[in-house]
Structure formats: C-alpha cells, structure tokens
Amino acid sequence: MQVQINDASLELVQGDITRQDVDAIVNAANSSLLGGGGVDGAIHRAAGRELLAECRTLGGCETGNAKITRGYQLQARHIIHAVGPVYADGKHGESVLLASAYRACLELASQHACASIAFPAISTGVYGYPMEAAARIAFRIILDYLAEHPEIKLVRYVLYDARAFQTHVQILEELLTQ
C-alpha cells in the first residue's frame, strides 16, 4: 500500500527491516542500546560487530527518544535506534512516549539528510503495545511530519508478518477516510 503526501510517499510493506535499501532504518532498541532480541538482534547481526562498538559510546537512550549510528554492513547508511515504551496498561504515558519516539526518529533523519527511512512497528513485540493503537499513533506522527518536512521523500513502514501487515493496511485506510 502506498499513500502520497505532497511529494512524499508513505509505503506499507511486508518484509525484513534489515534488508531495506533506504538512507536510514529504525531499530526498536532498548534503553541500553547494547542489543537485544527481535528487530534489535536482527539489526545487530546484519550490521556486524562494529555497530555494538559504536553503540557502546552512546551512553544509552531514554524512552521516547532516539540516537543515530552508521549502518555498517547494512544497505542503509544509518541506523536510528529508537526506544519505545514498555506497555503496562495505557495509563503510564505510553502513547506520548511512543509518539515521541517516532518524532525523534524523523527529526534525526531530517538532521542527517536521510530522505528515505524505514520503520518497524516499535514497541509492538516484546514491549507489548497493542498493535492497532500503536499503528494509529505511528501513522498520525508520520503523516503530520511528512506534511511539514519536504526533505523526507519516503517513509517505508515494514511489517514482519502477514497479519501485522493486514492490520496496518486496515488502520491506515481508516485514518485516511476519516
């Protein structure tokens, strides 16, 4: 699925974030920035050992924020390591923190001249954020940002499995018809 916002595109694809040929891919990291499971483990394996060495110099990252590194063996020039919230019950500021993590990634992309960026569904794995609610937040932030920042030409939202992909298509269609 593809949506046009001025000169920019928002694409939804099913696939593996580590294999995306974009300027920057986003990692769903934890606050240590020293690797983990899920997307984080896959990105560290694909980028190689040098990534961990650079991450060690960063001093971690607060929830709701993001930090940028080189991409090493990935096709992507940069990796933006975003720390989404662990979902408790939705009453612990999770939505604000998730929105802030997405915004921080887009701002870093702009600052580092990354015209194309690929996101995974941050916080929806081990961190337990309900997927529909997370998707609404992610798309709202991305669509608002693209409308105001013409330097970003492509946002690709990458869903790992078919069910996640279908859910996201449905949510985006809903948002666009509102």
Residue 34 identity: L
Query: Measured from the CB of residue 124, what is the shortest distance to ligand ADP in angstroms?
Result: 4
Query: Does position 121 bind ligand ADP by CB under 6 A?
Result: yes
Active-site residue (options: 7, 40, 89, 161): 40
- Options 5-13, 50-58, 116-124, 139-147: segment touching ligand ADP (CB under 6 A): 116-124
When binding is defined by CB under 6 A, the residue of 124, 145, 155, 165 that contacts ligand ADP is: 124
If the CB atoms of residues 100 and 123 are measured against ligand ADP, the closer one turns out to be 123
Please report where in the chains the tokens 């018809």 appear, as a residue: 177
Query: Measured from the CB of residue 154, what is the shortest distance to ligand ADP in angstroms?
Result: 17
> Which residues in the 27-66 window bind ligand ADP by CB under 6 A?
28, 38-40, 42
Q: What is the 3-state secondary structure (H, E, C) of the chain?
A: CEEEECCEEEEEEECCHHHCCCCEEEEEECCCCCCCCHHHHHHHHHHCHHHHHHHHCCCCCCCCCEEEEECCCCCCCEEEEEECCCCCCCCCCHHHHHHHHHHHHHHHHHHCCCCEEEECCCCCCCCCCCHHHHHHHHHHHHHHHHHHCCCCCEEEEEECCHHHHHHHHHHHHHHHHC
Would you call 89 a catalytic residue per the annotation?
no
Size of the site for ligand ADP (CB under 6 A): 20
Query: Does position 84 bind ligand ADP by CB under 6 A?
Result: yes
Query: Does position 17 bind ligand ADP by CB under 6 A?
Result: yes
Query: Measured from the CB of residue 1, what is the shortest distance to ligand ADP in angstroms?
Result: 16
User: Under a CB-based contact definition with an 8 Å cutoff, are residues 25 and 51 in contact?
Assistant: no
Catalytic amino acids?
Answer: 40
- Which residues of this protein are in contact with ligand ADP, per CB under 6 A? 16-18, 28, 38-40, 42, 84, 120-127, 158, 160, 164
